[in-house]
Structures are given as structure tokens and as C-alpha cells.
Structure 1
């Protein structure tokens, strides 16, 4: 079953065409439309349907007292009973009262598609409702629903963790066929129910090497689930929480370790055979960026570092293509083997540096210039790891890595140049305007001078000394103007986008913000020092001034932080973390 098949099992085509309809238990309108059928519909079917849908037990109970057989009647064209409808509405009290009036066999009634009410509860995930039904009839978990699957499997497909735990305890999984068990296992991994998957592996170790109907083992599915392991690489406060015994990341690592250990215990040591039959195990992890999974796999089977795919590319070549620094950094941890792997060429004659010259897949980096910076950084890093001969080597198309890089990034270079120029042009106007205003204000004495002593009238006021801050504003606005002028006159070479232009942008934007802030302070100081009405205007002035700074921060700070973060990453992105053979090592990238 695929991820949507739980819903298909409930709402798809009729799966039990051999079941015949009992007219005495059907209240919905159908041909022939006899007077008796119409009366039953309006007097019994419609009222109890609405009551079940709304959870109105008092209204439903009054109908049941008059017509006791309505509890087992089919009240929709899909053959749903009152219990089916109440279950979809999640009306726990209604279901509890209704089940008390039903027999064990009543609970086993299926709709046209072969689903019992428990199947509806399993997909919906309301454990309290499922418990009421199973307590009344413990055979319900063993009754297959649509597409011939049991409620436990439906709950797993829907990702209902609490329901899966409940039904797992009430279902005789030991009696299932191996194909059913492995399908449940791979489904639990797919829907992140790792605690149940771990329980299955512990109870049935042979499931480790068993394949589902998609010819995949649990390891194949887990290899694609990079998001399960993602939080383990998160720095800071998150690392305190992910160490929880039952966290998703901890369970994922336990499951991976258990699966690999079981392969050894089952004497099925040649995992390469599994990879040859379904090569997506190792390379699905590489393409999805599942570093933690790869590390566990390589610890158990170190020879896998030499494994190549159909393009004759290793996981490190894939890491370069996908710009996955966490996997690429493992190259530094395997010693001289890394140097050998770096010399490998794919079927098109591309070495690792050629792959770094390809245009990267879409990423979360904002701004064309920062994307270009990231691309150049990768190219330079891979260039360090290949032999000098490979830097000038041509591929089957007769192109060197540098030729390929320039060709593939031509459009990005144009966009990056425009992006930087647009920021510089808009910012330099602002910086020049501030410099002009501050330059004039710097030589103007607030309140004028005393005609007799030729000293400033407000010289003795406490705020007068603060006016010197206008000189600071002038200095920073001048620096900002120079920075943006330097950007506009730049040659815009590839090397400039690595550090020169980003650093100038950071310096220009920071000095612009400081000059604007100090200009506002100087303005407020001038206003208050010359104000003759005390503090009456303070609130008014701050109400007008503060929003200007706030708006600037909200508009420019995200961009500034992106540039700072991206530039900082140029120094830390490729730090080796020594995680491959150290189980306690962590890396925060």
C-alpha cells in the first residue's frame, strides 16, 4: 500500500462485491421507492443519521427505543451503520452508549467496501472509541478492512501513533504472514512510527532482511528519511532536547543500529548484495542528505565508501553534486582513501571538480550574490582536495572544470551582479542624503549664539554635549557611501563574490544603520535642547522617530543577517568533525 491507501481503503471502490444486501437492514432511499421505504427513511434513517453526525445521543436513543433494529441498519448508500457515522464524528459518549445496545456481531458489520467501524476509528486515530469497540468484541482487530488489510495497518498508514500502540497490543501480529509484518514495518518507518518499528525488529529479527511488495527493506526506507536525523545536527539549545530517550532522532539511531546488528547476527554479512539488488539504499541516503544514517552504515561496513552507482559516482561525488557538506566532510576522515576517491571519474569523464562546477540544485540561500558565493566556495574547497592535474583535466566534452564553472554560472553571475548593484544603488542614495543633512547640521549651533559672548545659548544645557554625536553620524555615513561606491566600481569577478563584495555589503549596511541611528539621536537632542515647553513633546517626537528605525531594522536586518551568516559559513562550512569513527562526536554546521 502507498501512503494514500488508508483513505482509499475507506472511500475507494467497492472491495466486497460478493456481499449481498439485506433489505430488512437497509433504511436509505433506493429503488423501488415504495411508500414504506420513504417512511422509514424520513422517520428512522434521516433522524438517526443526523443525530449520529452531531453526537446527539438523546435524539438517537429515542429513535432506538422505538426501532431497536436501527442500531444494525445500513443508513447510507455506502452501507455505513450508525456506528460508522458516529465514529467519523469522534463522538465518544455517543459511541459508548450505542455499543452498549449492540451485540458482538453487530460490531463486525462492514460497509460496502468491507470496512468495520473499527477501521474508521483506526484511520481517524480516536483511541477511546476504538477501545470501546474492542472491549466489546476482541476479534475486531483481526477483521480485515478494505483492500484486505487489518485496522493496525490502516492506523500505521495514517501515522496515528497512539492508535498503533493500542491496536498492536490487541492484535495477534505473531500470527501474521511475514509479508504482512514487513509491510507493517516499512510503513511504520515511512510514517515515522519508529517506536513500533523498533518493537517489530526486536520481536521479529528476520524482518531486517525481508522485503515488502516494493522490493525494499526497512533500511531502504530509513535511508530516505533524512528529516528523522536532522535535529541531531542542530546546534545550541536543541541539542539538549534531542537527547531524550524517546526522541525521534534517538529512536532512529537505535533502529538503524538494530537493523545493522541484526544483519550480522543473521549471518547475512554481504550487504553489498542488497545494494546491488536495490542500489537506492546507500545512494538514497546520499541524495537525501541522510548523513547520520550513512555514518552508521559505514561504521558497520567500511568498504561501502568504494561503492559506485550506475554513473560511476561515489557518495562523495553525490555530496558534491548536491552541495551536502556534512557528507563531503567525511572525505577528510578516511585518510588516503579520500585522496583516491577524489580522483575517480564518472562515465562522462567528469572528475569531482567537474561536478562542483555544475549548477547546484535549489537551496535556501537568499539572493543571487550569496548563491554565487556558496557556489564559488564549494568549487574552491573541492579544488583543494583534487590533485593539481585534475584541475586542468578535460571531460568527455573537452571542458576543464573552470570552463564548465564559468559556463554553468553565467546567468547566476549576471543576476548576482544586478542584485549587488541594486542594493548598493538604493543604499548609497540614503547614505548620501544622511551625510548631506548631518554635514549641514554639524556646523549649525542649535538656538544660535549669544551676541555678547559669542557662545552657544544652550551651552549649559545637559543635552548640549550630546550634539557632538552628529560628527559620528557624518563619519559613518561617509564610510557607508565609500563602501557602496567601491561596490559599484568593482570588477565583479568570480573571486570578488567569495568575500570582498559580501564584506563590503555588510560594512556598508552596518555603517548606514549606525549613521541613521546617530542622526536620529542628534535630531532629538537638538529638539529637546531648544524646546521651551519642557517634556510635552517628548512622546510626540519619539512616536515619529522610533518607527523609522524599527521599519529600517525590519526591512534590512534579515538581509544583513543573511549576508553575515553566509560569509561566516565560508570559514566554517568545511570543518572536519571526526564523526565517522567517533560515536560521541557531533558537528554543528
Structure 2
């Protein structure tokens, strides 16, 4: 269906290109601008092969196709510029200004500050509401160990149980990681509101915060499972099955909701650049 739609668009452009220039430009020009606005790079890629003049079309704001791609943050459309000959690239003046006085570089720097701040605040704020609860739980569990303490020497009564070291290690890791996550997300909320922070510092802090948050959730579930086993699981190995199953629920919920964001942040911060030639096809 997708390939058929692209072929249909190409055929429409072929028929429209047979008309005189004003009519053809009036049909194809707005189409490529709309496709650019919505980030439909396949359509934008096909039109210049049939009607090259469409790439020079400008909208009511005096913005060409690549200005519109920049303004709408469609890197897939902007990357098509690498598939044109050098002579054509020289004719596309990204430094030209639109009706508001913005050039291509100005459009790049015009970040939606309110949207970025809201996104940052929502992610960090939601975590800050969760993390004190996690810190409180694991700290209380560390003080009141399962089985209580021996009245004679003060040592935990279940200290010789094989599951006890698992409880101690996971509980300590949960406390350290949840506290670290709390501090990291606090630093995000209190950071400077400048563009360079959104490019480098804040994405890396968000990555660190999500990783430590994920670590604290896993460690808390392990500590909780070890506690249940220490209290009720002696000679009852079957109790591990429901403990493991139910412990996987919060981990799975976190993975499904936050892991895609974490992957995107890692890719954008440490991966290859999103800009560059993606195809060897020459358009014009």
C-alpha cells in the first residue's frame, strides 16, 4: 500500500508536469510544502525527480522546502539536500530570511523552550515524587532486617541464611541508586535554561537518572523478594515463583514506558549524527 501510494503521487506529478508551468507549479508546489510540513520524505523525494522546479517553491512565510523542514524538525526531509548536485545546493540559500527575519540557522536555534521545559519538568518531577518513597522504603528495610535481631549480640537472626546476603546487597544498591537518581533529577530541575544544556548536559543527566532509577527499581524488587523468602520461604521453594512473577510487573511497566525514551536519548547523545546522506539516489 505504501509503495502504491508513492507511485500514485509520482504519476500525478508526471501528469501535472505536462501542464504549462504556472498551472503545474500551482499544483505540485503546495503538495511538496505540505509533505514537508508533515515530514513525508518519500513524497518530497519523488517530486523533484519529475518536477525539479518544485524544490524552489516557497510558502506564505517566504520559506523554501528546507526552511520548512528545519522549522518542523523533520531531519528525514532535510537530509534529502545531500542527494542533490552541488550546483543545486549552491542555489538553495538557507541563509535567506523569511518574513519574520529568520534564516535557516535562526530556525535551527528557535527551540520550543516552553515545550522542552515542560518535558524536562514532567520527567524529572514525576521521578522526584517517586524517589523519596523508594529511599524511605529501602532505608526502613535496611534498619528493620527480616527476622529481627538477636537480643544477645544484636546480629540479625537470619544472617546465616543463604538469602540474607542477597537482601543486604540488593537493599544497599537500591538505596544508593535511588538516592543518586533523586539527586540527578533534582539537578535537572535546577539547571540553567540555556540551549547548550539541552544539547549536552541535560540529555546525559536524564540518561544517568533513568539508568539509576531502573537500577533502584530492580534492586528494590530483589530485596523485597529476598525478604519474603527469608520470612516465609523456608522449605517452600514454590514461593519463589509468585515472588519472581509479581516482581517483574513494575520492572516491565518501567521498561515499556521509559526504555524507548532511554534508547532515544542514548542514540541522540552518543550515536551517529542524524544528519547526512541516507541514499545514493541523485534527485536533481
Offset of residue 435 of structure 1:
4.6
* Aligned pairs for 1:215-234 within 5 A: none
Offset of residue 332 of structure 1:
2.8
2:30 to 280, 304, 308: 280
- Counterpart-to-counterpart distance in 1, 2:163 and 2:40: 60
Task: Find the residue that maps to 2:98 and give its secondary structure.
Answer: coil
- Counterpart-to-counterpart distance in 2, 1:456 and 1:285: 68
Task: Confirm whether residue 466 of structure 1 aligns to residue 170 of structure 2.
Answer: no
User: Contact (CA 8 Å) 2:13, 2:50: kept in 1 or not?
Assistant: yes
User: Contact (CA 8 Å) 2:174, 2:215: kept in 1 or not?
Assistant: yes
* Aligned pairs for 1:304-453 within 5 A: 304-334=54-84, 335=86, 337-338=88-89, 340-341=91-92, 342-354=94-106, 356=107, 379=108, 405=110, 409=112, 411-412=114-115, 415-416=118-119, 418-440=121-143, 444=145, 448=149
- Counterpart-to-counterpart distance in 2, 1:469 and 1:279: 62
Task: Find the residue that maps to 1:518 and give its secondary structure.
Answer: helix
1:501 to 184, 202, 223: 202
CA 1:470–1:346: 2 relative to 1, 3 Å = closer
* Aligned pairs for 1:103-118 within 5 A: none
Offset of residue 480 of structure 1:
2.0
Q: Which residue of 1 aligns with 2:261?
A: 562
Task: Find the residue that maps to 2:58 and give its secondary structure.
Answer: coil
Q: Which residue of 1 aligns with 2:5?
A: 252
Offset of residue 501 of structure 1:
2.6
CA 1:523–1:322: 2 relative to 1, 3 Å = closer
TM-score (norm: length of structure 1): 0.40
Task: Confirm whether residue 516 of structure 1 aligns to residue 268 of structure 2.
Answer: no
Q: Which of 1 and 2 has higher RCO (CA within 8 Å, sep 6+)?
A: 2
User: Contact (CA 8 Å) 1:458, 1:530: kept in 2 or not?
Assistant: no
- Counterpart-to-counterpart distance in 2, 1:450 and 1:277: 88
Which structure has the larger Rg?
A: 1
User: Contact (CA 8 Å) 2:225, 2:247: kept in 1 or not?
Assistant: no
TM-score (norm: length of structure 2): 0.73
Task: Find the residue that maps to 1:498 and give its secondary structure.
Answer: helix
- Counterpart-to-counterpart distance in 2, 1:277 and 1:412: 35
TM-superposition CA deviations, 1:468-506 (whole Å, max 9, x none): 333332332332233233334423433323343343233
User: Contact (CA 8 Å) 1:344, 1:352: kept in 2 or not?
Assistant: yes
Offset of residue 426 of structure 1:
0.8
Q: Which residue of 2 aligns with 1:550?
A: 249
Offset of residue 422 of structure 1:
1.9
Offset of residue 339 of structure 1:
5.0
Offset of residue 327 of structure 1:
1.5
- Counterpart-to-counterpart distance in 1, 2:190 and 2:72: 34
- Counterpart-to-counterpart distance in 1, 2:233 and 2:79: 67
CA 1:494–1:546: 2 relative to 1, 3 Å = farther
> Which segments of 5 or more consecutive residues in structure 2 lack a partner in the other structure?
none
- Counterpart-to-counterpart distance in 2, 1:522 and 1:348: 58
Offset of residue 275 of structure 1:
0.7
> Which segments of 5 or more consecutive residues in structure 1 lack a partner in the other structure?
1-247, 357-378, 381-404, 583-589
User: Contact (CA 8 Å) 1:295, 1:580: kept in 2 or not?
Assistant: no
Which structure: greater helix fraction? Answer: 2
User: Contact (CA 8 Å) 2:185, 2:205: kept in 1 or not?
Assistant: yes
Offset of residue 271 of structure 1:
5.1
- Counterpart-to-counterpart distance in 2, 1:255 and 1:413: 38
Q: Which residue of 1 aligns with 2:226?
A: 525
User: Contact (CA 8 Å) 1:283, 1:309: kept in 2 or not?
Assistant: yes
- Counterpart-to-counterpart distance in 2, 1:532 and 1:353: 64
- Counterpart-to-counterpart distance in 2, 1:527 and 1:347: 67
- Counterpart-to-counterpart distance in 2, 1:445 and 1:348: 67
CA 1:340–1:530: 2 relative to 1, 3 Å = same
CA RMSD across the alignment: 4.1
User: Contact (CA 8 Å) 2:138, 2:171: kept in 1 or not?
Assistant: no
